[in-house]
Every structure is written in C-alpha cells, then in structure tokens.
Amino acid sequence: MTTTVQLRDDFPVLSREIRPGVPLVYLDSTATAQKPTQVLRAMDEYYRKYNANIHRGVHTLAEEATAMYESARQRIAGFIHAAHPREVIYTRNTTESINLVAQTWGRKYLQEGDVVILTEMEHHSNLVPWQMLAAEKHLRLEFIPVRDDYLLDLDAYQELLSLKPRLVAFTHMSNVLGTINPAEEIIRLAHAAGALTLVDGAQSVPHFKVDVQALDADFLAFSAHKMCGPTGIGALYGKQALLEAMPPFLGGGDMIRKVYLRSFTPNELPHKFEAGTPAVAEAVGFGAAVDYLSQVGMDLIAAHEHEVTAYALERLSEIPGLRIFGPDLPHKGGVVSFTMNGVHPHDVAQILDQNGVAVRAGHHCAMPLHDKFGITATTRASFYLYTTFEDVDRLAKGLDDVIRLFG
C-alpha cells in the first residue's frame, strides 16, 4: 500500500476536492482510468516541440513525430508480447478494434449459416458488431451461459463447439461482474474446433499481464484510456497472417501504396488499417502509459488490486440489504457491482457523489447481462493501482449514508 500511496502523487486529479473539504475518491476506473503526470507531460511535450504529420514528411519535425509514433507502437507490442510491432494496429478504442475485425475479416470470410460464439457477459461493443453482421450475412449467434456463480459454463461451451463455429469472441474480464475468464482454455478449445478467437481485453490489459503469444489469441482489442493513457486511441492485435489476408477497413491516407483512378493497392501492415491523419499525440501518450505501467510492474498492480478487492468485498458484505454481483476471489478482478434494497442505483451514485465518491450506475453497456439477473441497473465501484483501503472505507461510509436517507 505504501507504493500505491506514493503513486497517487503522479495523478493530479486525485488531489482534487469535489467541494471544499470533500476530497475526491475515484472509483470509476473501469469506465476510464486517471492519467499520471508522465503521460500528460509526454503529450504536452509532443505538441510543444514535435507537432507534425507523420510518415510522408521529410523535414525534421515530421521525422521526429514519425519516430515517436512508431516507437510507441513498438512498446505497446512489447507490452502484450506481440511477435512484431506490425501486428499492432492503432484504432480509436476497443469498440473500433472489434468493428474492424467484424467488418473486414467477418465480411470477407463468414458465410450464411456460419456460427459465431459469444458470451452472455459481453459488453455491447462485442455484441452489436456481430449482431449487425449476422443480420447482413444471416449468421448464427450462440452464447456461452453465465452460471449462478457468475462464471462461464464451460461444459455448455464445449457443447456449442460441436456446431463448428468460425469465431469465438469473448471478454477476458467482465466490466460488470469482474469475472476473469480462463482465456487460454477458451482459446485452446476454440482452436481445436477450428475456430478463430477474438479477445476483448479492455478490462484485462490494464490490470494484469496479457501475453498474446502465450494465450495464442488470434485477435486482441484494448483501449489506452483504461490503462492510464489518453482517450481517442486503442489497439487491435492480430496475427500477421490474418491481418495480411484481411481487406482494408477505411480508405484514404496512409492505407494506400498506389492509387489509380479506378483502383488502388493497399499499403503493408500495419498502415493498411490506419487511414487518414492518425492520433499522433494520443499514440505518444499511449506509449507513455505503457512505460508507466511497465515501470510500476503489472504483477504488482494485479496483486494490489486483488488486496483492495478482497477488502472491498469484506467491507461491503457488512452492509445490510446490499447484494454483490460477481464471483469470489481469485476469479474476480477489481470491479464490485451491487444493488441495495429499495434504492435505485442512480440514487446510490448521487448520494455517494455528495460524499466525493465517484462510482458508475446503470447497465454498464451490458443490458443482456443485467436482464439475465432480472435487474435493470447496478452501482459499480472499480479499482486501479492508485486505489487505497481508505477509498474503500469512504465508499462504505457513503453507503451508510444511503441507508440512513432511505431507511
């Protein structure tokens, strides 16, 4: 915890008071993480000293900006242990990464009647793109059930694999339940059945080590803003052979090698999928965020979040009328979603905000998962490397105020 308290000084917003005498307790890192000074400084320095468009310019600023942009890609590739930086495609976010796969690989290779397996705990970003493609190409979507213990039913999954799916797409960690899914086993079974795999890593890559080669993932999608980086940029990892066989996503700018009046030749990887002027400053910030997390150590971050989550589960279990959704440790990441008897989750969140505690309330872009458990919304507290036990105590105290107000 001492290390975490020291790290908090790197995050300017954590010193803010919501109102005079009411300091901020930020428990919404699953939605977006706060940014350390090191990331802010890197982006500010880029705009002050190196701002230029990349790749095509031969002047000094353009060459420096290009080097920074591509250096960030190399560090991001190393962070997830990709075989080569060309396997990392810059996108706007996890959502765009998944849509890229659906609209390029999916549109080219999936045929009427093909099966795509998803899970009941998916974020809308890993549901709607496949629903859109299924409606267009008459695909069959099947879903791995979530059991009463909030884990995936892997026996049902193996039965679904008998349908010979073309793709299995699943979240590595649920943004609602905190369930950490056994990605390596899911991928191994999918490959044995002849399917490719796409992993939604939005909630895993920021919080614990993710090694795409060890997992043998075919695609992995993640976002910078959930891992101490800026908004507006994310990444898609894909195995090189798959990316090379996929058509481009968007047209124009850097994604071309040669253009004629009636045809074009696409660029090589990774530029084939990066049309138009890219988010250069955001890429610089993305690289700085990866550097920051690497310096702290992903194993230390995971261990710290485990301690904070265990403490939160203990404290919240003492609160009458509160129901927690999600598995027990060690299958759970730093997310605690809950309901309180007789109090709407939005009311809970508003009262907590009066106490300076920032949480999220709603369906968290997972309406089917909430429907499964017969609820419309939950209140969600989520943790990161800067969360302390004292933050959890402030959450518990705020929930005591909820009980006093609503009886």
Helix (H, G, I), strand (E, B) or coil at 108: helix
Q: Where are the domains of the chain?
A: 2-27+297-406, 41-295
Query: What pLDDT was estimated at residue 3?
Result: 62
3-state secondary structure 305-334: HHHHHHHHHHHHCCCCCEEEECCCCCCECC
Below-70 pLDDT ranges, the chain: 1-3, 5
pLDDT tens-digit map of 338-397: 999 999 999 999 999 999 999 999 999 999 999 999 999 999 999 999 999 999 999 999
Q: How many CA atoms lie within 13 A of 49 on its CB side?
A: 9
**What span, in angstroms and rounded, lies between the C-alpha atoms of 205 and 80?**
8
Query: What pLDDT was estimated at residue 253?
Result: 86
Query: What pLDDT was estimated at residue 2?
Result: 41
* CB-based burial, 141-174: b 16+ in 10 Å, e otherwise: ebbbbbeeebbbbbeebeebbeeebbbbbbbbbb
**What span, in angstroms and rounded, lies between the C-alpha atoms of 175 and 173?**
6
Contact 97, 91 (CB under 8 A): yes
Secondary structure element (H or E) that encloses residue 298, with its range: helix 298-316
Residue with tokens 């710290």: 304
- CA proximity to 301, closest of 206, 203, 183: 206
Query: What pLDDT was estimated at residue 1?
Result: 43
Structure tokens belonging to residue 32: 């977006």
Q: What number does CATH give the domain 41-295?
A: 3.40.640.10
Q: Which residues are catalytic?
A: 365
**What span, in angstroms and rounded, lies between the C-alpha atoms of 47 and 200?**
31
Q: What kind of fold does domain 2-27+297-406 have according to CATH?
A: Aspartate Aminotransferase, domain 1 (3.90.1150)
